[in-house]
Amino acid sequence: MNKKILINCLFSFIVCAIGFSKESPNILWIVGENLKLDLGCYGARNVKTPSLDKLAKEGERYTKVFSTSPVCAPSRSAFFVGMYQTTTDTHNMRSHREDDYRLPDGVRPITHRLKDKGYFTANLKTMNGEEIGSGKLDLNFVNEGKLYDGSKWEELKNNQPFFAQMNTLECEYDIYDRNTWRQPRVEWKGEKHHEKIATVKNVNPPPYYPDHPVVRKEWARYLNSVSGMDKTIGKVLRRLEKDGLADNTIVMFFGDNGRIEPRGIHWCYDTGLHVPMIIRWPKGFSAPANYKVGSVKDEVVSLIDITPTMLGFAGISKPFGMHGRIFLGDRVGPERTYAFSARDRVDETVNRVRSVRGKKYHYLRNYYPSRHFTSLNRYKEKCFPIKPLMRELMAAGKLKGPAADLMSPSIAPEQLFDTEVDPHEINNLANSKKPEHREALLRMRAALATWIVETQDQGEFPEPEHIVAPFDKEMHDWFGTPDWYRKQN
């Protein structure tokens, strides 16, 4: 082979390689467990999140992103396939773990679709032998075959393009140790060893809790866990740079569901659904036309939207029938008016709540008004000290205002909140006579009715008792049954 032909072949090879890489960026999902917008870049106080704040400056920060469920397994079951959990019958917490359930025809895990495109997939647990992720799946489907190829950071560099998912460890109760948090030390250069950013003296818990040392302690622990999470994420992002992967890896950080607090996780208030999201586009690839470094976007986004959007980044067209819209890329769909969310059975606690969230108003439909915050959930009773505290204070007549209202044994069938003037969602406007409130109520009520029909909401059909009963026993074996419930039953 002469020199000219060799040069031409080499040039063609380089062009092909570059062309392939441009079509196939690496994708890194950093999934923050159980948190709301409690980061410095969102204006949160008493947290220290320099890694995520820097990521936001280098990328885009989204302010109105909502999960499809206020609890992990249904939420993950939705964004992992791009279909509402209420459509695929994966809406009840930890359902279908021991049966022969399969996803509906045409519905596939995102990792399978990416693998068809040549992606190596990893659910990251370790980096240099250190635990960086939980390796959590918590999907309500288990019969779809192998979902990931690897679990170690060191596997990524030689297996490009890759899709790697890292599930953070810190913002979670350790159910094996019952009443402790999986919270690492929070250490910062130039500051005291084990320094805690949040303390019982400087935190400001929301007004629907009593101002009590237990509440303040729990709030500080949560905020410090967020600061600890940022430390781990910082290590991962620095390693991404060190390994020469940052310039060809899309980094996406988002929460899987809302904040780990008694009125947060499990409930369809913003505290259970409103999650952070940051996306950084790599320098080695041409950014989409609607991407701007350092921008803050307030469009309504559902976590169901990340699936077709991520597939688009990998050069995969949105599959026919997939829910969600592409919100970033070259083929963006029409902007959302509402994000829809759903809460159904959580462990042994049977309920049905539906949520419609717009930029300003939030509508909730409570199908079981007698089942609300005071309902028994053994995990909550054992691991969330605030809940038994509020029971004790309520019995002693020491609660008032929003905290006392929260302990009411029932809830209104419909709730409407103006989140701009009432960010804690305390004042229900469903019975307001103001024209703007009536208009919002009727519009969002109709939107929910349409969504239920169009998406074939399976929550219309309660689970049989023989399916629910084992969860009651399992939760009793794990956490016990509180005395107050024994006395009532």
Q: List, for residues 304-353, the tens digit of each pLDDT value.
A: 999 999 999 999 999 999 999 999 998 898 999 999 999 999 999 999 99
> Does 15 map to a domain?
no
Q: Dump the DSSP string for 402-426.
A: HHHHHT-S---SEEEEETTT-TT--
CATH number at residue 144: 3.40.720.10
> What gap in Å lies between CA 136 and CA 94, rounded to an integer?
13
pLDDT single digits (tens) 200-209: 999 999 999 9
* Full domain range(s) for residue 180: 24-484
Query: CA-CA distance, 466 to 489, in Å (whole number)?
Result: 20
53 located within any domain: yes
pLDDT tens-digit profile, the chain (489 residues): 455 444 444 444 443 444 334 469 999 999 999 999 999 999 999 999 999 999 999 999 999 999 999 999 999 999 999 999 999 999 999 999 999 999 999 999 999 999 999 999 999 999 999 999 999 999 999 999 999 999 999 999 999 999 999 999 888 876 555 444 454 434 434 444 445 799 999 999 999 999 999 999 999 999 999 999 999 999 999 999 999 999 999 999 999 999 999 999 999 999 999 999 999 999 999 999 999 999 999 999 999 999 999 999 999 999 999 999 999 998 898 999 999 999 999 999 999 999 999 999 999 999 999 999 999 999 999 999 999 999 999 999 999 999 999 999 999 999 999 999 999 999 999 999 999 999 999 999 999 999 999 999 999 999 999 999 999 999 999 999 999 999 888
Q: Would you say 259 and 36 are in contact if contact means Cβ atoms under 8 Å apart?
A: yes
pLDDT confidence of residue 464: 95
Residue 62's H or E segment, with its range, is strand 60-66
Residue 9 lies in a domain: no
- Cα(445)–Cα(218) distance, rounded to whole angstroms? 36
Q: Quote the CA–CA distance of 437 and 464 in Å, as a whole number.
A: 38
Handedness of CA 461, 462, 466, 472 (dihedral sign): positive
User: Is residue 343 assigned to a domain?
Assistant: yes
19 found inside a domain: no
* 414 contacts 445 by C-beta, under 8 angstroms: yes
Nearest to 313 by CA among 238, 253, 257, 252: 252
Domain count within the chain: 1
Tell me whether residue 272 is in a domain. yes
CB 41 within 8 A of CB 49: yes
Q: Give pTM, 2 decimals.
A: 0.92
- Residue 446: φ, ψ to 5°: -65, -40
User: 477 exposed, middle or buried (CB, 10 Å; 0-12, 13-18, 19+)?
Assistant: exposed
* Domain-embedded: residue 206: yes
- Residue 2 located in a structural domain: no
